[in-house]
Amino acid sequence: MDKTILTITLNPSVDKSSSVQSVVPEKKLRCNSPIYEPGGGGVNVSRALKRLGVVSDIFFTSGGRTGRLLEKLLKGEKLNIFPSHITSETRENFIVLDISTNKQYRFGFPGEELTQEQQKEILSILPTINPCPDFVVISGSLPTNTNPNFLRRLVNIYKAMGTKVIIDTSGEALRTAVEEGVFLLKPNIGELAFLVGKEKLEETDIDQAARLIISQGKAEIVVVSLGSQGAVLFSGSEKIKIEAPVVEVKSTVGAGDSMVAGMVSVLVKGGDYKEVLSMGIACGSATTMTEGTGLFTRENAKHLFYKIWK
């Protein structure tokens, strides 16, 4: 029987991307026609899994006109959605490419705070989603002023159900969530430093920091993202480091979410950790080859995977 996956996005968005000949101050800038795409950590993980032929369910908050657009976009991609309707408007992000410099500008807006009633509703709905997931991916930021303990409660619920929890967030939400102990954690170096109480970490400090988190029972697997340099996976005494392939980078939007999706796509099939990390890096790198807010193509991801794997 296939393993089941649920992604959770508490602060989703609709990402609006466009391009302009040149970004200059004090002038009206004539943008090209915008492209609207679903956004937010778990939402993008599910969208990326679909490209890999892996089915998942998506739980996300949805409110107002933007929320309705988000639901429409996700239905258009034939994804299994479980929206939780809230009174506030789902947020938007704006991404613009300066054609003259080929530089991308990313403007992210905050999401409205989840009320106590909305949080209670979410906590009551999630355990009722059938089938009970084998893997839960909690990814993305929390809405403004939402207590980080909310994530800890989510982790607690799913651990009690025997579900493997994967976390990809930042700040206090990250620190609080891992106190319950998760299956897999994907920090970058800055987030790893934050978790171990350091201002910054050098690359030579990564091993000790990652193993400290594992020894404290905060994660079974720690995958440290090194950006264009690849990533390193730690689990028990095992350490696997893989460099990212050299590609023409057009946009980094969604690369981290795609990396998570790549790893999950192998985990659900029982693959080994080298394959897990290789597919994660392949999907993340393939996404950087796509303009705007688009995710990877399956062809690019598979090509890069075999390039890394050989």
Return the active site residues.
Answer: 257
Determine the Cα–Cα distance for residues 168 and 186; give it in Å rounded to an integer. 6
- For the record, the structure tokens of 278 come out as 């290789």
Identify the CA nearest to 15 among candidates 83, 121, 129, 91: 91
Determine the Cα–Cα distance for residues 169 and 180; give it in Å rounded to an integer. 15
Cis peptide before 131 (omega within 30 of 0): yes
Q: In 219-234, which positions are buried (b, 16+ CB within 10 angstroms) versus exposed (e)?
A: bbbbbbbbeeebbbbb
Determine the Cα–Cα distance for residues 120 and 274; give it in Å rounded to an integer. 39
Identify the CA nearest to 242 among candidates 168, 304, 299: 304
